[in-house]
Structure 1
Amino acid sequence: MSTAAETTTTPTIAPAAGPAHPVRRHLGWLLAVAVAVAALNLRPVVTSLGPLLDQVRVDLHMSGTVAGLLTAVPSLCFALFGLAAPALSRRFGPTVVVTAGMAAIALGVLARSFSGGTAVFLLLTAVALAGVAVSNVLIPVVIKRYFPDRVGPMIGLYSMALSVGTAAAAAATVPLTKALGGNWREGLGSWGLLAVAGLLVWLVTLFLRRDRSGKAEAPAAAAKLPILRSRTAWALAVFLGLQATSAYATMGWLPTIYQDAGVSAGSSGGLLALVMVISVPASFILPNLAVRRGDQGLFVVVLALCGIAGYTGLAFAAGTVSWLWACLVGLSMCAFPLALTMIGLRARTPGGVAQLSAFAQSLGYLISIPGPILVGTIYQATGQWYLPLGFLALLLIPQMAVGLRAGQARHIEDEA
């Protein structure tokens, strides 16, 4: 059993007999930096495109239907490519696959900025999203394997960096594009440089690792579980799906909700940024608190109640104390880092985490696809936001129910 002193010293990777070698101690810190840099790159692929989508459509002669398809492609790619992650991890090892994922992100983001047609642009976007998908699934596995005593802090670091990358790409893409001459190609392509930096960090980490071969990592994911038998796995998948539904609907429609309530376009964009920024510190603190409890049900309930209050406020008083509703909705979206934390806690081994992460995230993203579309359909049919926001608030009740089940102190190996 680890002593208190051992759990607060420099992170070490992979159990080893005797004192940690200085190279291994430094490598622990390097791997922590690699996790953070990877997280920064997992959302700009998507959030940098939205502000420039009109320019991209005109320049590539993209139809409205295809542009609409682009909003559904991320969830679909996350689901499909995420399913392949455990098999790739068993064959090559999780750090090798995440490094390849960083390479796919860098290639896709850089190359699509030079594409001359819609088909090539979609294909290269899918390449980048494939890298995001396998990294989504396997970074929690890397954390479980190399930081088993620091799952909470490392998931917190990962989630915080993810939020920073999301907010930065949404807020900085347009100013960055203007500073580079106003062409969308330079604006989108510049995020590929961040991906290249992430790739270099992972390549150095991979080179310095003592267990560089895929064979050394394979046993961690070798035992394939009948995960469909696990109620906890199903509960986590549905919890992630309902959370993603609210998150994507909020990111897609919140500025319109505020503008319909009389808030200016500039202020509505700032309020959307507030929703994402509020989750940055919360995403770091929450996993650290959650990992200290055997049962995470309390956090599930608190976040759901924040969301219900936030969506209710938006429905009836979006133009009044607008910042309060944005903060409450932003806090409710921290259900995602909570879900990542629970994935790390609900399996005993890195191999179990890989299978649980792939199953829960892939099924969860599939569940989330219809939600934002349905919100838009209801709004178009009624011309008001009462029913769409009521729908989002109502979804938090089953999210709370399945979250309470997923938050119980159990392991999928026992159920499966």
Structure 2
Amino acid sequence: MSALTLRVAVTAFSPLAERIGHDIGYSTAVVGVFGMIPTAMFALSGLLTPLLMRRIGLERTALVAMLAAGAGQLIRIMMSQTIGLLVFSALALAGMGIGNVVIPPLVKRYFSDRLATVSTIYIVMVQIGTVVPALVAVPLADTHGWRVSLGVWCVLGFAAAVPWIGILLDRRGRDVVDHTAIPTEDGPKGKVWRSPVAWGMVGMFGMTSLTTYAIFAWLPRILTEAGASASFAGTMVGVFGGVGLISALSAPTLVAKVRNPFPLVLVCAMFFFIAFAALLWTPMSAPLLWVFLLGLGPSTFPMSLTLINLRTNTPQGSAALSGFAQGGGYAVACLGPLLFGLLHTATGGWLAPFGMLVVAVLIMVIGGWLVCKPRYLEDTWH
């Protein structure tokens, strides 16, 4: 339930951005600001959530995340000015960013014997929460207005808070040792930034995210300039996102079954390179095939989320690695769409932007080589 909430504030808003702008009066430039808020808040949450987990523990942090996500989505639809919409969108996205970081160590704490299975479930939920709101946003807005279409998803955040409230209430009045502080005075300690595992995770997670966000932002333009209709280009974006469900269902299990999953990273890089070349030189020869291959490239995203737990021994280590990787990774990912667009504007073509993505994928491969080695964060962070 928590994982299902982690993208809805983003994908429910994007299809309605221009309609909302016409209603409350913001320019198209502000749409770009809204586009940068998700990765910015995810990056900030990645850096701050470990501090919150140290103070209040994993379960309370998850509760705060879900309540923030629900409240932000509910309050923002009541706003009639741009600043209010921005502020409460940021609140909702901060809650979702905290959820991004806290769920992997929760999986480690409660399901250490079933990491692949539970990781698959939660990553699939993230994908569903990414795809479904985008599909129904416009029909809901057409029938009930954009405020209903945008606000209905707050129910998920509040519903996901209920189990965490139940867990915390169940502990009241009982002598329960809290093992969720990250870390406690007696728990494992280390400087996460000293570990090659951590930097490898930043490279793998961050470059995957940078490439994915750049493609989401610019794939329609690439295809329409090649002669596709706007509706076809939009459908291809949906295909690109939908292929992620295949990765979400398969990648965690595959990663967990092999001692060193680096060959899988190389296969993902190959998918990226083939798709980049095809979209650059023959985009309309077989666009569905190229976009399908392109959608398989970010399989390194669910791989990264699974490796957060496979490359740590403890919930403390998982929380530290999750925060470091997602904070640094999303900070880098913010630059993807911007740099891709600047390079296209400067050169008037797509060769330089795709060249940037090739470099990003090569960094992803280097990061994958570091993080896929069979070793643990806690053995390397001193």
TMscore range, shorter length: over 0.9
Partner amino acid, structure 1, of 2:53: S
Question: Could you report, residue by residue, the CA deviation over 1:263-298 in whole angstroms, capped at 9, with x for unpaired residues?
Answer: 222221111111111111321211111011121201
Residue 342 (structure 2) aligns with: 377
Q: How far, CA to CA, are the matches of 1:391 and 1:244 in structure 2?
A: 14
Runs of 4+ with deviation above 6 angstroms: 209-214
Give the fraction of aligned pairs with identical amino acids, expressed as a percent: 33
Q: How far, CA to CA, are the matches of 1:318 and 1:207 in structure 2?
A: 56
Q: Helix, strand or coil for the counterpart of 2:247?
A: helix
> Are 1:184 and 2:151 counterparts?
no
Q: Helix, strand or coil for the counterpart of 2:365?
A: helix
Query: Please, which of 102, 122, 125 is the counterpart of residue 66 of structure 2?
Result: 102
Question: Could you report, residue by residue, the CA deviation over 1:159-190 in whole angstroms, capped at 9, with x for unpaired residues?
Answer: 1111111111222211121122xx22121112
> Are 1:58 and 2:58 counterparts?
no
Q: How far, CA to CA, are the matches of 2:173 and 2:138 in structure 1?
A: 43
> Are 1:325 and 2:268 counterparts?
no
Q: Which fold has the larger relative contact order, with Cα–Cα distance below 8 Å and residues 6 or more apart in sequence?
A: 2
- 2:55/2:181 contact within 8 Å kept: no
> Are 1:38 and 2:2 counterparts?
yes
Structure 1 residue 226, shift from structure 2 partner: 1.0
Aligned residues: 378
Q: How far, CA to CA, are the matches of 1:211 and 1:352 in structure 2?
A: 29
Structure 1 residue 208, shift from structure 2 partner: 4.8
TM-score for both structures, normalised by structure 2: 0.94
RMSD: 1.9
Aligned counterparts, 1:237-386, within 5 A: 237-386=202-351
Q: Which runs of 5+ in 1 are unaligned?
A: 1-36
Residue 52 (structure 2) aligns with: 88
Q: How far, CA to CA, are the matches of 1:270 and 1:197 in structure 2?
A: 31
> Are 1:414 and 2:376 counterparts?
no
Query: Please, which of 74, 78, 87 is the counterpart of residue 114 of structure 1?
Result: 78
Residue 194 (structure 1) aligns with: 156
- 1:211/1:217 contact within 8 Å kept: no
TM-score for both structures, normalised by structure 1: 0.86
- 1:220/1:349 contact within 8 Å kept: no
Partner amino acid, structure 1, of 2:199: W
Structure 1 residue 215, shift from structure 2 partner: 5.8
Structure 1 residue 210, shift from structure 2 partner: 8.8
Q: How far, CA to CA, are the matches of 2:211 and 2:193 in structure 1?
A: 25
Q: Helix, strand or coil for the counterpart of 1:396?
A: helix
Structure 1 residue 125, shift from structure 2 partner: 0.8
Partner amino acid, structure 1, of 2:353: P
Q: How far, CA to CA, are the matches of 1:353 and 1:211 in structure 2?
A: 29
> Are 1:395 and 2:357 counterparts?
no
- 2:58/2:181 contact within 8 Å kept: no
- 2:247/2:302 contact within 8 Å kept: no
Structure 1 residue 212, shift from structure 2 partner: 8.5
- 2:340/2:353 contact within 8 Å kept: yes
Structure 1 residue 71, shift from structure 2 partner: 1.4
Structure 1 residue 214, shift from structure 2 partner: 8.9
Q: How far, CA to CA, are the matches of 1:220 and 1:357 in structure 2?
A: 12
Residue 17 (structure 1) aligns with: none
> Are 1:126 and 2:90 counterparts?
yes
Structure 1 residue 299, shift from structure 2 partner: 1.1
Partner amino acid, structure 2, of 1:192: C
Q: How far, CA to CA, are the matches of 1:380 and 1:408 in structure 2?
A: 40
